[in-house]
Amino acid sequence: MQETITFFSGFSTPDLWFLADAALKTLWISVLSISIGTVLGGIFGWMLHEGKWMAALTVGSILDIFRSVPLIIQLVLFYNFAPMVGLSLDPFASGVVILTIYTAALVSNVARGGIEAVPVSMRKASRSLGMSYWQDLRHIVLPIGGRAVFPAWIGVVLGVMKDSALVSVLGYVELLKASQILITRTQEPFLILALAGAFYFALSYPISRYAAKFEQRWAQ
């Protein structure tokens, strides 16, 4: 009697754990990239504000490239170009590098907007009270400017978290890549995509809710 070979199998509990693990990988690469990118973006935003036209021609031009070129092209080009210059990076490291620079490029405009949102008269008043330049940035610009651009920064965070799905083109098994693997095996695209969407919602919704509450508390 000839054996029947089954190429496809239905969705099972281990598959759900596989998706959950991929969601954690999505969260990890997002947190790492957003954290470093936010710090770099804040520095670049400060440079763009203070450097005026000179910074706009140098740093600003480079950041414009990363804002303008589709993220998927950046990922593929960097992953294939890195070995040519002696960098041996796996898909995760390559994804972190590009997502970090991409985040920094987006946050730089947000940070510059936050600095420029602080009235010049208020900054002059702080300096007349004896504050140093750095004290003015810390005690005046950061609280007031940060409050003004906090919603925009949250938008960047949520956007980068969703854009992290593009790292799947490099072979990194995050949530989208795991979904594609399961769809190929189970042939249940509706169920798999619905679960993937639920995981993305579970990652994004708490951030949105906490940000809204934090903004309300900040406004009081």
Residues recorded for the chain = 220
Please indicate, yes or no, if residue 53 is contained in any of the structural domains: yes
Q: What is the CATH number of the domain that holds 82?
A: 1.10.3720.10
Task: Return the sign of the alpha-carbon dihedral for residues 15, 31, 112, 71.
Answer: negative
For residue range 7-61, list pLDDT tens digits in order. 556 677 788 888 899 999 999 999 999 999 999 999 998 888 887 766 667 777 8
Rounded Cα gap, residues 21 and 3, in angstroms: 34
- Portion of the chain with pLDDT greater than 90, in percent: 28
The DSSP string of 179-217 is HHHHHHHH--HHHHHHHHHHHHHHHHHHHHHHHHHHHHH
Give the pLDDT of residue 35. 95
Copy the structure tokens of residue 211.
């940000």
For residue range 135-152, list pLDDT tens digits in order. 888 888 888 888 888 889
Residues whose CB falls within 8 Å of the CB of residue 21, separated by 6 or more in sequence, listed in order: 178
Please indicate, yes or no, if residue 209 is contained in any of the structural domains: yes
Rounded Cα gap, residues 38 and 126, in angstroms: 26
Binning pLDDT at 50, 70 and 90, where does residue 3 land? very low
Please indicate, yes or no, if residue 9 is contained in any of the structural domains: no
For residue range 65-74, list pLDDT tens digits in order. 888 889 999 9
Give the pLDDT of residue 176. 86
Please indicate, yes or no, if residue 2 is contained in any of the structural domains: no
- For residue 133, the enclosing domain spans 14-219
Residues whose CB falls within 8 Å of the CB of residue 180, separated by 6 or more in sequence, listed in order: 168
| pLDDT (average), residues 151-160 | 91
The predicted model scores a pTM of 0.86
Q: How many domains does the chain have?
A: 1
Please indicate, yes or no, if residue 6 is contained in any of the structural domains: no
Q: What rounded mean pLDDT belongs to the chain?
A: 85
For residue range 100-137, list pLDDT tens digits in order. 999 999 999 999 988 888 888 888 888 888 888 888 88
Give the pLDDT of residue 49. 84
